[in-house]
Structure 1
Amino acid sequence: MYAKGQAVIQLMEELAPKAYAVPDDKIGLQIGTLQKDIRKVLVALDVTEEVVAEAIREQADLIIAHHAVIYRPLPHIQTDTPAGRLYEKLIKHDIAVYIAHTNLDTADGGINDMMAEAIGLTDTEPLDEVHTDKLKKLVVFVPVDYADKVRQAMFDAGAGWIGDYSHCSFNIEGSGTFMPREGTEPFIGKQGKLETAKEIRIETIVPQSVERRVVQAMLKAHPYEEVAYDLYLLDLKTRTFGLGRAGKLPKPLTLAELCEQVKQAFDVPMLRVVGDPDQMMRKAAVLGGSGSRYMKHAMFKGADVLITGDIDYHTAHDALAAGIALIDPGHNVEKIMKQGVAEYLQRKLAERKWATAVVPSELNTEPFRFV
């Protein structure tokens, strides 16, 4: 049995919720429909004509990409232009395109975490805050014999965290009343008769980013036909999510040694460097994509070096003057997301017994050639 498109995207948005994107970012479904079975997903960095041809060869029904295929407003779709030809192929072959951009940059386990892990950074923190999760209190009334099952289902879905403490809840035993009406199939009681049942009032904390998942898990585990529950928005904040990562290197390295490690970790033939090759690096910052304007953020976090793409001339001079090193392996290092996202989705789909396959694009969409 294949997963529906909406089910695949729900799993994707568990990794990279839309709320984590910067304002006005072009994310989400851009072409096609998700109201269909998905036999195969192709994960790509960019959506080029070559990538679309690969999707057609692979018989993929969905492309999940990092960079938007529609970035600027479209005055027209003319099929004799490069963009129009691309959209025509996607529509003719019924291939949907879904974009996860800055929400995937920001997310736990997203691109910046993948980059940080690739060079071994520890004790990481975001460079620039984008989203702070709000907290809600979930209250649900459960028959006594099912309290443990419902409580555990909510915890497994992400509820009950207060700082570094998990499985946090408060429980009160009491009596619930209800009268099943005509057309109901009550778990307890009979139609037309007032019923009193011993129940547990379970209270727990839910980050807004996982609210939907927690509520669905709670409803699935609950035995009642109609579940009585409440959600309260709290004037409290939990974890902060942001772009980039700063952290400690596994051991001090010279800038030259770190450059060699970066080339190997991100599979790039060469890179641009600003700084003294013999300078010792102890703390590094990484940011996928164009990171010139995040140099000061890296300095504020105490980084000795910022590893990012698209460093401009004037930022390079500013870095020399400020004493922070820069390593520019190119924007295309975000290709690290292809394997990471494909493995994540395939694992999640397999857990649900869906036959949908997920493959990373094998194409190199780096537009620059080194000569």
Structure 2
Amino acid sequence: MKIREITNAIAAYAPLQYQESYDNAGLLFGNADWEVTGVLLTLDATEAVISEAIERGCNLVVAHHPIVFGGLKKINGSNYVERVAIKAIKHDIAVYAAHTNLDNVRNGVSKMMARQLQLQDCRVLAPKRELLAKLYTFVPHAQAEKVQNALFAAGAGHIGNYSECSFNVEGTGGYKAGEGAKPYTGQVGQLHLEPETKLEVIFPLYLEPRVVQALLDSHPYEEVAYDVVKLGNAYNEVGSGLIGNLPEPMEELAFLQMVKQQFRTGCVRYTPLRGRPVQKVALCGGAGSFLLKKAISAGADAYISADFKYHEFFDAENQLVIADVGHFESEQFTVELFYHILTEKFRNFAPLKSTIRTNPVNYL
């Protein structure tokens, strides 16, 4: 198995196109065509983790956080990032990161947090826009099903929990083939009217090359008429954070104690209690203060995230309870998510989970 097979499986689950503009997800070190000797899963690709990969015979480290965010002007070992780069390159260790792209898919990092609390009816808290497109095309009646199925196989036609979604309208197409043309039906130089089906399918914008190619490969016409229109719709499968409901309402302090236990944290920083039950819970892995207003407007009783600054706690304004569990603690279950993705895709392959706890924060 080659490294690209592993990274492609992760990218299919969390497309790199969904990472934020500041991020640096993807293959950071190594060659995608290397044969895989083993895969080590971790939250952070630290020096200790690279050493562990060497000791355990793994030449691919899959991490949540990119060890390199900006460009490296020098690699002389003056800081931990450069030392990781030197060690990884020296020992032919590839490093792949799935960061905000894994945060932004509905079944990503925040979903792993939601599982710890058994939240139900989860939805994306802040869906992203302008990530969808619609394809319109015109096909002879007899070939419409073939073309439609090819578009579905390329990834078109998914809306929420529904697949193979399309809209079909029957009509008549007309054309006159010119000199040198090889029309599917009709004669050169004569106007031809053909009973056609107009197909409309929706798809994620990043799949446009694949969807259009599937159309061209399956369509019987020499010249295929089609339009791709970028949509402004919110894409409810992609975005920041999640919001869902506890199975039963809980008293606030009991809820916070459960959060502390489930997230295995030495400290939960929280805002004043409101004296109201908690049932609707919003959450976001990592630094999530930017979603506080979204959590409030969505009617959340509590918002679980990390890295809130002192003055940001005031922004709760007694409308919900903020529970800051710590950055590492909110994302620690990402390793389990990586493991699930790879073992579901490759049933006879066993990636290894790092034994290194990379959290740089300690509690007294």
Q: Please, what TM-score do these two structures have when normalized by structure 1? A: 0.78
Q: What residue number does 1:158 align with?
A: 155
* Matched AA of 2:120: T
Q: What residue number does 1:313 align with?
A: 310
Q: What residue number does 1:245 align with?
A: 242
Identity of aligned residues (%): 31
Q: What residue number does 1:33 align with?
A: 31
Residue of 279, 284, 293 corresponding to 1:282: 279
Q: Post-superposition shift, 1:195?
A: 7.1
Q: What residue number does 1:56 align with?
A: 54
Conserved in 2, the CA contact under 8 Å of 1:247 and 1:283? yes
User: SS where residue 61 of structure 2 aligns?
Assistant: strand
Counterparts of residues 300-339 of structure 1 (less than 5 Å): 300-319=297-316, 321-332=317-328, 333-339=330-336
The C-alpha deviation readout for 1:68-112, integer Å capped at 9, x for no partner, is: 201244231113643332111100221222222111111121111
Conserved in 1, the CA contact under 8 Å of 2:126 and 2:294? yes
* Matched AA of 1:301: A
Q: What residue number does 1:117 align with?
A: 115
Conserved in 2, the CA contact under 8 Å of 1:138 and 1:206? no
User: SS where residue 49 of structure 2 aligns?
Assistant: helix
After TM superposition, the structure 1 stretch with the greater mean CA deviation from structure 2, 293-302 or 204-213, is 204-213
Counterparts of residues 183-198 of structure 1 (less than 5 Å): none
Structure 2, unmatched stretches of 5+, are 187-193
Conserved in 2, the CA contact under 8 Å of 1:19 and 1:131? no
Shift in CA distance, 44/153, structure 1 to aligned 2, threshold 3 Å:
farther
* Whole-angstrom CA distance in 2 between matches of 1:169 and 1:90: 51
Shift in CA distance, 214/360, structure 1 to aligned 2, threshold 3 Å:
farther
* Matched AA of 2:327: H
Shift in CA distance, 101/163, structure 1 to aligned 2, threshold 3 Å:
closer
Conserved in 2, the CA contact under 8 Å of 1:3 and 1:356? no
Q: What residue number does 1:65 align with?
A: 63
Q: What residue number does 1:127 align with?
A: 125
Conserved in 2, the CA contact under 8 Å of 1:157 and 1:217? yes
User: SS where residue 244 of structure 2 aligns?
Assistant: strand
Aligned residues: 351
User: SS where residue 25 of structure 1 aligns?
Assistant: coil
The C-alpha deviation readout for 1:283-319, integer Å capped at 9, x for no partner, is: 1110111123432222121111111112222223443
Q: Post-superposition shift, 1:153?
A: 5.1
Residue of 350, 361, 364 corresponding to 1:368: 361
RMSD: 3.7
Q: Please, what TM-score do these two structures have when normalized by structure 2? A: 0.80
The C-alpha deviation readout for 1:303-347, integer Å capped at 9, x for no partner, is: 11111112222223443x434212121101201111112211221
Residue of 359, 363, 366 corresponding to 2:352: 359
